[in-house]
Chain A
Amino acid sequence: MTLNRPIFLDNQSTTPCDPRVVAAMLPWFTDNFANPHSAEHAMGRAAEAAVEAGRAEIAALIGAEAREIVLTSGATESNNLAIKGAARHALRVNDPRRRVITVATEHKCVLESVRDLAAEGFEPVILPVGPDGLIDLDDLTEALVVPTLLVSVMAVNNETGVIQNLPAIAALVKEAGALLHCDAAQGVGKIAIDVGYGIDLLSLTAHKIYGPKGVGALYVRRRPRARIAALFSGGNQERGLRSGTLAPPLIIGFATAARLAAAEREDDAARIAGLREHLWAELQRGMPGIVLNGSAEARIAGNLNVMLPDGSASALIAACPDLCVSTGSACSSAEIEPSYVLRAMGLSVAQASRSLRIGIGRFTSPADIDNAARLLIAAHASSPARMQA
Chain B
Amino acid sequence: MPKMIFIERDGTQREVEAPIGLSVLEVAHKHGVDIEGACEGSLACSTCHVIVDPEWIDQLVEPTEDEEDMLDLAFGLEKTSRLGCQIVITPQLDGLVVKLPASSRNAAQG
A93 with B72: CB separation less than 8 A = no
A93 with B65: CB separation less than 8 A = no
Does chain B have a CB within 8 A of A240? yes
A227 with B78: CB separation less than 8 A = no
Contact check: which of B73, B78, B79 meets A240 at CB < 8 Å? B73
Contacts of B81 in A (CB 8 A): 93
Report if A227-B72 is in contact (Cβ < 8 Å); known contacts: A93-B77, A93-B78.
yes
Does chain B have a CB within 8 A of A285? no
- How many residue pairs between the two chains, A and B, have CB atoms under 8 Å in the bound complex? 19
- The chain B residue with its CB closest to the CB of A90 is B79
Does chain B have a CB within 8 A of A37? no
Does chain A have a CB within 8 A of B68? yes
A95 to B54, CA, bound (A): 13
Contacts of B68 in A (CB 8 A): 222-223, 225
Does chain B have a CB within 8 A of A5? no
Within 8 A of B (CB), among A221-259: 222-223, 225, 227, 239-240
A223 to B72, CA, bound (A): 13
Distance between A326 CB and nearest chain B CB, rounded to angstroms:
41
- The chain A residue with its CB closest to the CB of B62 is A224
A95 to B81, CA, bound (A): 13
Does chain B have a CB within 8 A of A94? yes
Contacts of B73 in A (CB 8 A): 240
A223 with B79: CB separation less than 8 A = no
A41 to B79, CA, bound (A): 40
A325 to B14, CA, bound (A): 71
Within 8 A of B (CB), among A83-105: 92-95
A239 to B65, CA, bound (A): 14
B78 with A94: CB separation less than 8 A = yes
A223 with B77: CB separation less than 8 A = no
A95 with B65: CB separation less than 8 A = no
A95 to B77, CA, bound (A): 11
Distance between A231 CB and nearest chain B CB, rounded to angstroms:
16
Distance between B53 CB and nearest chain A CB, rounded to angstroms:
14
A93 to B73, CA, bound (A): 13
* Chain B window 62-98, contacts with chain A (Cβ cutoff 8 Å), 1 for yes, 0 for no: 0001001000110001110100000000000000000
Report if A222-B65 is in contact (Cβ < 8 Å); known contacts: A239-B72, A240-B72.
yes
* Chain A window 59-95, contacts with chain B (Cβ cutoff 8 Å), 1 for yes, 0 for no: 0000000000000000000000000000000001111
A227 with B77: CB separation less than 8 A = yes
Report if A92-B77 is in contact (Cβ < 8 Å); known contacts: A227-B72, A239-B72, A240-B72.
yes
A222 to B79, CA, bound (A): 15
A240 to B70, CA, bound (A): 12
A213 to B72, CA, bound (A): 30
Contacts of A239 in B (CB 8 A): 72
A227 to B81, CA, bound (A): 12
A94 to B79, CA, bound (A): 8
A227 to B79, CA, bound (A): 10
A92 to B78, CA, bound (A): 8
A95 with B72: CB separation less than 8 A = no
- The chain A residue with its CB closest to the CB of B77 is A93
A223 with B78: CB separation less than 8 A = no
- The chain A residue with its CB closest to the CB of B69 is A239
Distance between B104 CB and nearest chain A CB, rounded to angstroms:
15
Distance between B98 CB and nearest chain A CB, rounded to angstroms:
16
Contacts of B78 in A (CB 8 A): 93-94
A223 to B81, CA, bound (A): 16
Distance between A154 CB and nearest chain B CB, rounded to angstroms:
27
A93 to B78, CA, bound (A): 4
A239 to B81, CA, bound (A): 19
- The chain B residue with its CB closest to the CB of A92 is B77
A225 to B64, CA, bound (A): 11
A222 to B62, CA, bound (A): 13
Contacts of A95 in B (CB 8 A): 79
Distance between B43 CB and nearest chain A CB, rounded to angstroms:
15
A92 to B81, CA, bound (A): 12
Q: A93-B79, A240-B73 are in contact. List 17 more A-B contacts (CB 8 A).
A: A92-B77, A93-B77, A93-B78, A93-B81, A94-B78, A94-B79, A95-B79, A222-B65, A222-B68, A223-B65, A223-B68, A225-B68, A225-B72, A227-B72, A227-B77, A239-B72, A240-B72
The list of the 3 closest CB pairs from A to B, nearest first, reads A93-B78, A225-B68, A93-B79
19 residue pairs of the A-B complex, CB under 8 angstroms, read: A92-B77, A93-B77, A93-B78, A93-B79, A93-B81, A94-B78, A94-B79, A95-B79, A222-B65, A222-B68, A223-B65, A223-B68, A225-B68, A225-B72, A227-B72, A227-B77, A239-B72, A240-B72, A240-B73
Q: Which residues of B contact A (CB under 8 A)?
A: 65, 68, 72-73, 77-79, 81
